[in-house]
Amino acid sequence: MAFDILEPGLATSVQDRGRFGYYNVGIPQGGAMDQLSASMANALVGNSPGDAVLECAYLGPRFTTDTDAVIAVAGAPVQVKVNGQTADQWTRLSLAAGDEVSFGMLSGGTRYYVAVQGGIDVPEVLGSRSTYTLGALGGFQGRTLKAGDTVPVGAPSGASPLDTIPEDLRPVYAKEVTVRILPGLYDHRLTAEGMETLVSTAWKLTPVADRTGLRYSGPDLEWRPRTQPFGAGSDPSNIVDAGYAIGSIQVPGGKEPIVLHRDAVSGGGYAMVATVISADMDVVARSAPGTLTHFEPVTMEQALAARADAAKVRRAVWGTAG
């Protein structure tokens, strides 16, 4: 059982929950950028939350299925078509052999997910099916899809799928969002005004945004002047190259904060001043260029409470198994 890719879309890749335990050698966690949407797509076809899906960015693929298949599309609002007829998101779609699936324009967000009953069945590499394109590792031959690819689909598990995701649990795709951050790492290297600017500005997401990181435009942030330590480099935004927390915000030269995301480089020489809390990484992933973003500082306790709230949403979808 397989999907035959007629057109690949802009950057369609195979993703699952991600690859953990290899960040120490520079291999990022990867995985679906918007984990909740990917997991909801899986729930709708009776997969387990960690099954691999297709992640579609902006312009989706066009593909046919070689046998009957059950799919679901969740995530950013997009026009879904089966044999040219409009079909619904957030529900189960039954395909017959030879049916063609394609996508129209997005009306918000950036990424949507196609789950298929049985999951995308590429081999696991280092414990995950996620695509790490820079390292040409995992996913479909270590890369995004191309026309002519035959993407294997696994055998259904037989678990019963959800009929739909209740509207109040579905993610929203707003033009203005609040992203909670935990200040720390090298925040002491900013002036008080610099930190105030970070948390009081409505930052605009630039088009420089991919799985590695997202860059925001706004005013410059002021670093404290200092004599740089040996090995750090000359700019006050430089540090002795260190590990990068995923979700951390770096501000090279005090201009244009960058939020590192699932395919983050694992280390480098720019000071990080805060980190997006785990509960809000999906919110960042859903942001389209132009989205106005407020970085709201929270405490560790608040971050952990938000994490527990996010887990409740997952449990509401998956029951206790999620």
Partner 1 sequence: MSHAPQHLDAARYTWGGDEFLFVEISESMSLAANFKANAMATRLTARAIDGVVDICPANASLLLRFDPDAVPPDELEALVRQVEEEVAQLSEQTLETRIIEIPVWYDDPYTRETGARFRKGHQRPDGTDLDFAAEENGLSSPQEFIRKHHESPWLVSMVGFVAGLPFMFQIVPQEEQLEVPKYLSPRTDTPPLTVGHGGCFACIYSVRGAGGYQMFGIAAAPIFDPAQKLEDFSDFMIFFRPGDIVKFKPVGEDEYRAIQAEVDAGTFTYRQVPVTFDLQKALTDPTAHNRDILEKLNGL
Identify the three-state secondary structure at position 47.
Answer: coil
Closer to partner 1 by Cβ: residue 253 or 319 = 253
**CB 303, min distance to partner 1, A:** 4
Closer to partner 1 by Cβ: residue 59 or 306 = 306
Copy the structure tokens of residue 281: 């990484």
CA distances from 57 to 125, 178, 264 (A): 23, 22, 17
CA distances from 217 to 201, 205, 207, 284 (A): 10, 6, 10, 15
**8-state DSSP, 131:** -
**CB 180, min distance to partner 1, A:** 9
Closer to partner 1 by Cβ: residue 43 or 277 = 277
Which residues sit at the interface with partner 1, rule CB under 8 A?
20-27, 125, 132, 134-137, 142, 181-182, 184-185, 229-234, 238-248, 265-269, 272, 275-278, 300, 303-304, 307, 311
Distance of alpha carbon 167 from alpha carbon 20, whole angstroms = 31
**CB 122, min distance to partner 1, A:** 14
**CB 232, min distance to partner 1, A:** 7
Copy the structure tokens of residue 8: 């690949």
Closer to partner 1 by Cβ: residue 101 or 251 = 251
Angle, helices 35-45 vs 300-318, to 10°: value is: 20
Distance of alpha carbon 92 from alpha carbon 82, whole angstroms = 12
**CB 20, min distance to partner 1, A:** 5
**CB 49, min distance to partner 1, A:** 16
47: nearest Cα among 159, 155, 152, 130: 159
20: nearest Cα among 157, 127, 93, 178: 127
Closer to partner 1 by Cβ: residue 56 or 282 = 282
Closer to partner 1 by Cβ: residue 231 or 319 = 231
Distance of alpha carbon 23 from alpha carbon 30, whole angstroms = 10
